[in-house]
Amino acid sequence: MGLSYTHAVTRTFAAVTLCSALGATCVASTLHSDLLLAKTQAWSRIQPPVNLPGPGRMFVGTCYQPIDRSPAQIKGDFAIMKSAGFNVVRMGDLSWDSFEPSEGKFTFGWFDKVLDQCVANGIRVVLDIPGSPAPIWLHHKYPGVDVVSQEGNRVPPSERYMDDISDPDYARLAKQLAVAMLRRYAHHPAIIAIGYDNEVGNGVMSYSAADRRRFIAWIKARYGTIAQVNKAWSTQRWSRHLNDFDEIDIPLQSGPGPSERYLDLHRFWSDVVIHRLNELEAVRRQYMPKTPTLSNLWDTAGRRGFDYLSSYRSYATFGAMGFYPGGAIDGSFEVALTRAGLDTPLWLNEFTAGGGGWYGDPGRSRMLAYVSLIMGSQGILAWTFNSHSGGEEQALFGLVDHDGKPSWKVHEWGQIAADFKLLGKYGFPRPLHPKVAIAYAFDSAIVSSTPGPSSTTKQYFKTGYYDQVQSAFEPLYKKNIDAAVLNIRYEDLSKYKLVIVPALYVMDPGSAKAIRDYVHGGGTVLMTGYSAKVNEQAQWFETTLPGRLSDVFGLRTAAFYRNDGGVKFNLQGEDVSSTAQYYEILEPSTAKELGAITNSYLPEHAPILTVNQFGKGHAFYLATESNATALAPVLDFVKKVAGVQDGPQTPEGVYARVIDGRTFYVNTNYQEVRIPIEGRRKGLLSGTTFEGTLVIGPKGAELLE
């Protein structure tokens, strides 16, 4: 039901609101087709694109903006890349007007010369279609592309991503650009992958009169009648009743909500983003069907975002993202969220090498590169190659300093390239086959953060939804257990032994059915507090909680309380002190109690964990919020029931996985670690033989035979 709805809305949205963007655009006259034909025939006689999924193919390189560099500098830059052992660059992003300086006039000659340099230096290319930001000429010629603030004011496109991507002229011209680029480079030997619209989720919502008409058309497609809109939006509350569709305004991004309207605001813009991505994917399938996609997406961006987990399979061959983590755990969680249910390796299209106002920390990029290998990465690209002298990010420091001199980071990335090349011989990129899935949903992320003075939902969520899902990931990661992060409504759960449902506030019918069917068929589910409180329209259930699933979990969740000192409990005879501050009072019916809270706010009895047998499976409910210190001991118990095994045992801050019988260790600590091992074993990265004790230096790694 969920999938068919998504596809139906996408089709309706296209037909009703964006039909003018879907027509074919003739660009042959501007492409000098005779010269193009000669070029493409020559390119097709060279070598075909690399088969990226192939075993042992590892890629290390950088993001590169040749528009900032002179021909002489470009030649020198590629010499530096080649000497460092780089074998890939990502180019094209953020450069629309360099390819199309005015409408329909394409200038590719400059980029052809850059690609020639790539071929000469043995460097492959991830080619981004730079559909965002739109050029200034486009804004001036088609003012509908200008963003209008929620106060009704035009906002000049002074910063990246200030384009109204729902505008038909934007859609038409972005597609025309994609057609022109992919026709020209369809057979180019350097290009191994295509990317779409850098950081597409990091855009701005717009409130023009045309946007309002498109939003109303979307609402009509979703609800059908104004009566259904009134029901979905609870307009009987506080005199908000709508008499017809013309009375609808676009909900305010800054609030106040209410949650129902705020959720539909984000759903609308999410559908716009997904529609744009699918349009570009259709162009790729027409002109470069054998070339995979590696798009640098940002679905969790705070300004707009989009529902990646419900749609990624329609436009993503490989999971890809910008990688700027605080550490191993949060970075690996972001990677798992991007990889989702894909079986292909992961690409980190922007990889931290320096930062805004931060020059870099020797060894940190290399350590994080090792961490990414644990999570199945195949390619990493430093952001960025040359430090920019002007424009945005001029104090974000790349591999090469502002004066063109290679920094120490070039040497470090050369070490990464050598390591990746070596590890390609030993089972990398690492295939992942996780047996644990963690539920994450766009709708819950949006509703739990509804802004505004009347948003009691945001007050209810003292700990953010994203943080709670990451807290479910953390204890598994520390035990060296792989976990997928998925929207369970759209995935086959039968391949997983354990499904964790942390704080899934919105419980739509599809997600409820997925949980019900999975448990009934023999699966094990662990759900935490905050879950299944509201329906798919963000309205609290008027039935027993957890909504739609009280029989599966065999209980009723009733009152809730907070304990600022942390929830303490006894689980199977063991006392546990956690930092969780929220807990619910569970009233079991058919569920069995497995432990109790020992510092409950009230004298009433408060179970901490219950289990209910439903069909052939088991449904566990944890009374607290999803908190790593509360979940860790609970998972130690639940994993045994589910049959999930821990990975290699490692000290704090050291993570490991077994690949083809060899154990790969990553030390994220800033000091040396010593790990007991059996017998005498050789380290393939260092060439050192270890006996009895494995020694790994600060921020180092080792692959043990």
Q: Is the dihedral of CA 213, 218, 223, 229 positive or negative?
A: negative
Share of the chain above pLDDT 70, in %: 92
| Beta strand 191-196 pairing with 154-155 | unpaired
Helix (H) or strand (E) holding 351: strand 346-352
pLDDT surpasses 60 at 496? yes
Task: Determine the pLDDT at residue 444.
Answer: 98
Q: Is the dihedral of CA 548, 551, 554, 555 positive or negative?
A: positive
**Is 146:170 a contact under the CB 8 Å cutoff?**
no
Report the pLDDT averaged over residues 113-140: 97
Report the pLDDT averaged over residues 563-578: 96
Report the pLDDT averaged over residues 402-431: 97
**Residue 200 — very low, low, confident or very high, per pLDDT cuts 50/70/90?**
very high
pLDDT surpasses 80 at 42? no
Q: How many CA atoms lie within 13 A of 259 on its CB side?
A: 23
| 278: exposed, middle or buried (Cβ count in 10 Å: 0-12, 13-18, 19+) | middle
pLDDT surpasses 70 at 48? no
- Collect all residues with Cβ–Cβ distance below 8 Å to 556 and sequence separation of at least 6: 544, 545, 550, 586, 587, 589
| Beta strand 592-597 pairing with 568-571 | antiparallel
**Residue 666 — very low, low, confident or very high, per pLDDT cuts 50/70/90?**
very high
Superfamily of domain 2-204+274-423: Glycosidases (3.20.20.80)
Report the pLDDT averaged over residues 163-180: 98
pLDDT surpasses 90 at 71? yes
Task: Determine the pLDDT at residue 52.
Answer: 58
Domain boundaries defined on the chain: 2-204+274-423, 436-642, 654-704
- Collect all residues with Cβ–Cβ distance below 8 Å to 670 and sequence separation of at least 6: 698, 699
Residue 311: closest CA among 279, 278, 266, 284:
278
Q: State the DSSP string of 72-111.
A: HHHHHHHHHHHHHT--EEEE-TT-HHHH-SBTTB---HHH
Q: Which strand ranges, in their side-by-side order, compose the sheet holding 654-659?
A: 654-659, 662-667, 701-704
CA distance 244 to 486: 38
Share of the chain above pLDDT 90, in %: 88
State the virtual CA torsion across 44, 47, 48, 50 in degrees, nearest 10: -150
**Is 663:703 a contact under the CB 8 Å cutoff?**
yes
Q: Which residue has the tokens 């045309």?
A: 210
CA distance 447 to 534: 9
**Residue 9 — very low, low, confident or very high, per pLDDT cuts 50/70/90?**
very low
pLDDT surpasses 80 at 439? yes
Report the pLDDT averaged over residues 210-226: 98
Angle at 88 between CA 702 and CA 662, to 5 degrees: 20
Pick the CATH number of 654-704 from 3.40.50.720, 2.60.40.1180, 3.30.450.40, 3.90.1310.10: 2.60.40.1180
Highest mean pLDDT of the ranges 31-35, 448-452, 477-481: 477-481
Residue 138: closest CA among 179, 170, 108, 92:
170
Q: What is the CA radius of gyration of the chain?
A: 26
**Residue 355 — very low, low, confident or very high, per pLDDT cuts 50/70/90?**
confident
**Is 676:692 a contact under the CB 8 Å cutoff?**
yes
**Residue 27 — very low, low, confident or very high, per pLDDT cuts 50/70/90?**
very low
Task: Determine the pLDDT at residue 535.
Answer: 98
pLDDT surpasses 90 at 267? yes
Task: Give me the CATH topology for the region 436-642.
Answer: Rossmann fold (3.40.50)
For residue 686, give both structure tokens: 């260092």
Task: Determine the pLDDT at residue 54.
Answer: 53
Task: Determine the pLDDT at residue 17.
Answer: 40
pLDDT surpasses 60 at 609? yes
Residue 539: closest CA among 322, 232, 125, 266:
232
pLDDT surpasses 80 at 395? yes
**Is 551:525 a contact under the CB 8 Å cutoff?**
no
pLDDT surpasses 60 at 18? no
What is the amino acid identity at position 164?
Answer: D
| Residue 431 DSSP one-character state | P
Report the pLDDT averaged over residues 472-488: 98
**Residue 356 — very low, low, confident or very high, per pLDDT cuts 50/70/90?**
confident
Residue 348: closest CA among 325, 314, 327, 364:
325
Q: Over the chain, what is the mean pLDDT?
A: 92
Report the pLDDT averaged over residues 84-108: 98
**Residue 55 — very low, low, confident or very high, per pLDDT cuts 50/70/90?**
low
pLDDT surpasses 70 at 79? yes
The per-residue pLDDT for range 526-546, each reduced to its tens digit, is: 999 999 999 999 999 999 999
Residue 422 CB neighbours (<10 A) = 14
